[in-house]
Amino acid sequence: MKELKIKKVIIHKSGISYFILEGLMKGSGTFEIEFKIDEMDDVLKSLFVLDTSEKGYISSISYDAALDTSQLLKSIMLDIPDRDSFSSLITQIKGARINLTITGKESISGTIMGIEEFEKMSKNEKITEKLLILLRDDDVIFKINFADIKSLDIINEDIKKDLKFFLDTVISGKKQDAKKIIINCVSGGNDEVERVIFVYYIRESPIWKTSYRLIMSKEQALEEKCLLSGWSLIENTTNQDWKDVELSLVAGMPVSFKYEFYRPIFIQRPVIRPPTVLSVRPTDIEEGIEMEKYKDYAMAEMEAKPRAMKKMAIASRRGVPPPAPAGAIGYGGMQSVMSDDVLLDKVKSQTKIQTKDLGELFEYNISNLVSIKRKQSALVPILTESIKARRVLLYNKNEYDRNPNACLEITNNTNLTLERGPVTIIYDDNLAGEAIVPFLNKEDTRLLNYAVEQAVIISHESKSESLSVHKITIGSGYSYEYYFTNQMITYKINNKINEEKELYLDHPKTSGYKFIEKPIDPEETPNYWRFKITLKPKEAITFKLKEQREDYSSYYLRNWSKDDILKRVGFYVKQKFINETLETQLKEIAEQIQTLNDKKNQREKLYEEREAMSDEQSRLRENISVLGEDNQSMSLKERYVKKLNDQESRFEKISAEMKKLDIEIDSLNKTIENKLNKLKAK
């Protein structure tokens, strides 16, 4: 069995690694590789073996089946228990020819007939001894005590194979999570030539993780640059040591999937997890700011220009960098030991890589060979570059209501693609904070928030107002009245430290609103308007924004009365929203709506009269039915009958009037509808 050595490992961000193994072979032989059961799917779908010699070739690749030990052993005749294994084997191979070596005698050949047991006394104890019954080749039956048998050779080759398979399967079953792949190599006739065999496959592996260090001195802060050092965490989860391995790290997301090759296939059901409810967190009591005096930002900018020019001149003469932020952890005074340029050269000398742009992917090839023992991990340097960086503040009232975030605005001006990962930010030999570097292509710019600037306090006040109607449109029987809604917000910003700050204020976009008042023009992000504000030392300002949106209210003219229409028409005429023709049309419609409503009221009264009359008729008929044949009853009957006749005449008259009104109402409805549909005002 020859050994394969891992030559190269290419780790992808999609959860797989590509392995290249190399081995040397003379003549014909085999290579053996061991994998976990869960790795077999990826290995089997990607395995490729190459014999680089002229005549050599790979005859076959075999591997352990995905069956339990009990299922595998069903295919053979043997089943040897853990106890009494020898006697059990003899019983199961009854009839097989064997060669026996017996103590003090020559070898004996024959055929197994069976086993015989007998009891005897030894030191006052009864013991059981076993005898092997053998039919010798000379047809003589011979008994041999088990204790005298030194060795037994089974002549039948099939039984030998079954016995060897049984033992191999049992020992493999003890190591249930491991499966072997055996590569059978054939020399093709050149047995003396040493051949190079390459094996390629993919297997599931932990993704390589990137972490960064951003190191900035006071001088670099003035020059708006910093040192970026990138490291990758590599984990060797295989069962082999990586010794002097070529290592490549690929950024990007190639398509990768698991395909069920090895195990039986079962349908996977979705897992539904219960929702997680966040607990209530403590809140801070706001600091009183009613005594602060705020200046309008636009006025403060005008006042600050002469003063700022004077300060810049003084600073340039003195060469004074801005004060460092308060830090909690020291990093040994790197800037005091060596200059920024020397530090960059020193760190860069430890980072030896070659990069390759693969279009949708980006590859880091580590120049130095890497050694990582099995089940261990290592940090490997992958980049050291000087990049553009500037310190700014970022405020978003939806993220952190009271204070802005301290941020580094970095630009990837390197020739590398930067993978996502955590970054430790060191400023002036102190820990400034931590952040996450997003995926950065070349020339991408991102903000990294690493701390909260508590010395800058921001509050905001909002109010909204709706203005008067400024125009109308009429169509399809509706009147649309348009008005503006103004939304005003005032940010109160108080810079309590004696240092000039650059503040990015992210103001949320609101659908339909446009700025009508703003101190400066903003930049646009997908969800915010970003205003870049300069905060002077120890100065409080107000930053006012006013946005406007056009809204409208719609009214169905049929729902208005004559008085309602005339009032709106008077307003429209006064505001010069409509002309005389439209005014006349609306007034005509108002009159017709009034006529229509009058007729509807008449019909309603007739309907009520008819309903009351029907109730009265029912009462009269009921009274008539209970009257007798005497004179008084007959007199009442005559009165009731006369009243019924009078009501019946009125009933017929009401029905005729209601029918006429229905026709008139229907006609008016059609007329009004036609006139409303013809109305147009823009």
Among 139-153, 214-228, 457-471, 600-614, top mean pLDDT goes to 457-471
Quick one: pLDDT at residue 139?
82
pTM score: 0.59
Q: Residue 67: give the domain boundaries.
A: 1-84+158-205
% of the chain at pLDDT higher than 90? 27
- Please name every residue paired with 523 in a beta bridge, in sequence order, or none if there are none: 530
% of the chain at pLDDT higher than 70? 80
Average pLDDT in the chain? 80
Q: How far is CA 409 from CA 343, 351, 450, in A?
A: 22, 25, 11
Q: Is residue 89 predicted with pLDDT exceeding 90?
A: no
The set of residues, in sequence order, having a beta carbon less than 8 Å from that of 426 and lying 6+ positions away, is 213, 214, 215, 216, 331, 432
* Pairing between β-strand 16-26 and β-strand 194-204 as defined by DSSP bridges: antiparallel
Out of 205, 230, 264, pick the residue that ends a domain. 205
In a shared domain, residues 227 and 375: yes
- Tell me if 285 is assigned to some domain: no
How many alpha carbons fall within 13 Å on the CB side of residue 378?
15
- Tell me if 374 is assigned to some domain: yes
The better pLDDT of the pair 82, 615 is held by: 615
Quick one: pLDDT at residue 279?
38
pLDDT digits 0-9 by tens, 506-523? 999 999 999 999 999 999
Residue type, 142: F
Cα angle 541, 546, 550 (rounded to 5 degrees) comes to 175
* Pairing between β-strand 209-216 and β-strand 421-427 as defined by DSSP bridges: parallel
- Tell me if 286 is assigned to some domain: no
Q: Residue 514 has which token pair? A: 């446009």
Among 166-175, 320-329, 419-428, top mean pLDDT goes to 419-428
In a shared domain, residues 433 and 421: yes
Q: In which band, very low, low, confident or very high, does the pLDDT at 74 lie, cut at 50, 70 and 90?
A: low
Q: Please tell me the distance from the alpha carbon of residue 423 to that of residue 437, in angstroms, as a whole number.
A: 6
Residue for token pair 């690929």: 250
In a shared domain, residues 549 and 564: no
Quick one: pLDDT at residue 288?
36
Q: In which band, very low, low, confident or very high, does the pLDDT at 172 lie, cut at 50, 70 and 90?
A: low
- Please name every residue paired with 584 in a beta bridge, in sequence order, or none if there are none: none
Quick one: pLDDT at residue 291?
45
Quick one: pLDDT at residue 294?
65
Q: Please tell me the distance from the alpha carbon of residue 661 to that of residue 655, in angstroms, as a whole number.
A: 10
Number of domains in the chain: 5
In a shared domain, residues 115 and 21: no
Cα pseudo-dihedral 597, 601, 602, 606, rounded to 10:
150
Q: In which band, very low, low, confident or very high, does the pLDDT at 460 lie, cut at 50, 70 and 90?
A: very high
In a shared domain, residues 9 and 119: no
Q: Please tell me the distance from the alpha carbon of residue 249 to that of residue 440, in angstroms, as a whole number.
A: 16
In a shared domain, residues 478 and 527: yes
pLDDT digits 0-9 by tens, 263-313? 555 566 676 666 554 433 443 433 434 445 666 666 666 665 555 444 444
User: Three-state DSSP class for 587?
Assistant: helix
Q: How far is CA 317 from the centre of its chain?
A: 53
Out of 116, 131, 155, pick the residue that ends a domain. 155
Q: Please tell me the distance from the alpha carbon of residue 311 to that of residue 542, in angstroms, as a whole number.
A: 23
Whether 79 and 93 have beta carbons less than 8 Å apart is answered as no
Segment holding 468, helix H or strand E: strand 456-475
From 636, 604, 642, select the one nearest 623 (Cα to Cα): 636
In a shared domain, residues 114 and 220: no
Quick one: pLDDT at residue 618?
84
CATH assignment of the domain containing 110:
2.30.30.720
Whether 233 and 208 have beta carbons less than 8 Å apart is answered as yes
Q: How far is CA 204 from CA 11, 238, 245, 398, 656, in A?
A: 10, 10, 18, 41, 91
For 70-88, what is the mean pLDDT? 66
- Tell me if 643 is assigned to some domain: yes
Quick one: pLDDT at residue 326?
35
- Please name every residue paired with 118 in a beta bridge, in sequence order, or none if there are none: 129
Out of 541, 556, 571, pick the residue that ends a domain. 556
Which alpha helices (DSSP H) does 135-236 contain, by range?
Answer: 157-174, 218-223
Instruction: Give φ, ψ of 512 to 5 degrees.
Output: 90, -15
Quick one: pLDDT at residue 68?
53
Segment holding 393, helix H or strand E: strand 376-396
- Tell me if 503 is assigned to some domain: yes
Q: At what angle do helices 580-626 and 631-678 cross, to 10 degrees?
A: 160
pLDDT digits 0-9 by tens, 546-559? 999 999 999 998 88
Residue for token pair 């209501």: 401
Cα separation of the two ends of the chain: 92
Give the DSSP per-residue string, 270-292: PPPPPPPPPPP---PPPPP-TT-
Q: Is residue 465 predicted with pLDDT exceeding 60?
A: yes
In a shared domain, residues 228 and 309: yes
Q: Please tell me the distance from the alpha carbon of residue 515 to that of residue 493, in angstroms, as a whole number.
A: 20
In a shared domain, residues 626 and 665: yes
For 477-490, what is the mean pLDDT? 93
Quick one: pLDDT at residue 263?
55
Q: Is residue 646 predicted with pLDDT exceeding 80?
A: yes
In a shared domain, residues 539 and 570: no
Quick one: pLDDT at residue 75?
56
- Tell me if 491 is assigned to some domain: yes
CATH assignment of the domain containing 663:
1.20.120
In a shared domain, residues 448 and 461: no
Q: How far is CA 300 from CA 137, 200, 309, 402, in A?
A: 119, 68, 14, 22
In a shared domain, residues 140 and 121: yes
Quick one: pLDDT at residue 330?
36
